[in-house]
């Protein structure tokens, strides 16, 4: 079956953070120091709403001083500045775009991270970021919304027409989750085993066309 579109995960797949600072995690730790216990939906709140660090603190009821906020903002800026594309991701995107396939990224992200991904890969057909859509992987809605942005219909795979594939480094979110809406998911294992290189994956996709 020929492939018409490829959807990528972002972090761990297209890009990596070389100097992780975990500013939102630090914010939640500060909340714990203030007696606020972590909640099951804290990460979902960060990933599905357009929140800056100060807005997240307000939403969670965490009190932070101007100096604490300035420190967390610096950590975030340093982390964002350290984001780099994987070389094989750049090659894979180039190969697939040259062949005329539609490409998208679908990722669970806090608001600050989306523009960096867009800047590194500025010519993708769609950017399905959880903070914009309001839904996180592996919920079906984020995959469907990304396909809508890309103007492709994943149900066509179920009817034997052109297929849509997705690849990422999470079994639950990138291999299994997309199948809910008819997308064929693949697991990227950068440490070896299975699909370990996006360039090889791209060539495999193109060989089936």
Do 148 and 64 belong together in one domain?
A: no
Do 43 and 106 belong together in one domain?
A: no
Q: Are 130 and 109 in contact (CB under 8 A)?
A: yes
Could you give the angle at the alpha carbon of 148 between the alpha carbons of 121 and 106, nearest 5°? 40
Whole-number pLDDT of residue 196? 82
Do 161 and 145 belong together in one domain?
A: yes
Whole-number pLDDT of residue 77? 99
Q: Which two structure tokens, joined as six digits, stand for 15?
A: 């890009």
Do 7 and 45 belong together in one domain?
A: no
Q: Are 189 and 195 in contact (CB under 8 A)?
A: yes
Domain end, chosen from 56, 81, 106, is at 81
Do 170 and 134 belong together in one domain?
A: yes
Compute φ and ψ for 116, nearest 5 degrees.
Answer: -70, -45
Do 97 and 174 belong together in one domain?
A: yes
Instruction: Provide the residue range defining the domain that includes 195.
Output: 3-16+85-207
Whole-number pLDDT of residue 158? 53
Whole-number pLDDT of residue 195? 75
Domain end, chosen from 34, 62, 81, is at 81
Do 188 and 107 belong together in one domain?
A: yes
Whole-number pLDDT of residue 54? 98
Do 91 and 75 belong together in one domain?
A: no
Per-residue pLDDT of the chain (209 residues; tens, 9 = 90+): 789 999 999 999 999 999 999 999 999 999 999 999 999 999 999 999 999 999 999 999 999 999 999 999 999 999 999 999 999 999 999 999 999 999 999 999 999 999 999 999 999 999 999 999 999 999 999 999 999 999 998 865 555 567 899 999 999 999 999 999 999 999 999 887 667 899 999 999 999 76
Do 127 and 184 belong together in one domain?
A: yes
Do 95 and 109 belong together in one domain?
A: yes
Q: Specify the number of domains making up the chain.
A: 2
User: What is the rounded CA–CA span in Å between residue 194 and residue 88?
Assistant: 16
- E-strand spans in the chain? 3-8, 15-17, 83-85, 102-107, 126-129, 163-168, 184-187
User: What is the rounded CA–CA span in Å between residue 150 and residue 146?
Assistant: 6
Q: What is the pTM of this model?
A: 0.94
Do 137 and 44 belong together in one domain?
A: no
């Amino acid at each position: 079956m020929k492939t018409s579109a490829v959807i990528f995960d972002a972090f761990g797949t297209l890009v990596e953070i070389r100097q992780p600072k975990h500013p939102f995690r630090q914010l939640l730790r500060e909340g714990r120091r203030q007696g606020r216990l972590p909640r099951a939906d804290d990460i979902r709140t960060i990933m599905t709403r357009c929140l800056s660090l100060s807005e997240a603190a307000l939403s969670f009821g965490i009190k932070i001083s101007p100096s604490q906020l300035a420190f967390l903002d610096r950590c975030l800026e340093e982390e964002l500045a350290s984001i780099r594309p994987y070389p094989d991701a750049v090659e894979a995107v180039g190969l697939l775009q040259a062949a005329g396939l539609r490409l998208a990224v679908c990722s669970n992200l806090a608001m600050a991270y989306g523009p960096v991904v867009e800047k590194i890969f500025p010519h993708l057909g769609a950017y399905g970021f959880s903070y914009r859509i309001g839904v996180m992987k592996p919920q079906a809605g984020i995959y469907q919304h990304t396909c809508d942005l890309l103007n492709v219909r994943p149900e066509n795979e179920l009817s034997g027409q052109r297929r849509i594939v997705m690849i990422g480094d999470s079994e639950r979110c990138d291999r299994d989750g997309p199948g809910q809406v008819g997308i064929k998911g693949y697991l990227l294992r950068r440490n070896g085993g299975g699909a370990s290189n996006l360039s090889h994956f791209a060539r495999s996709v193109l060989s089936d066309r």
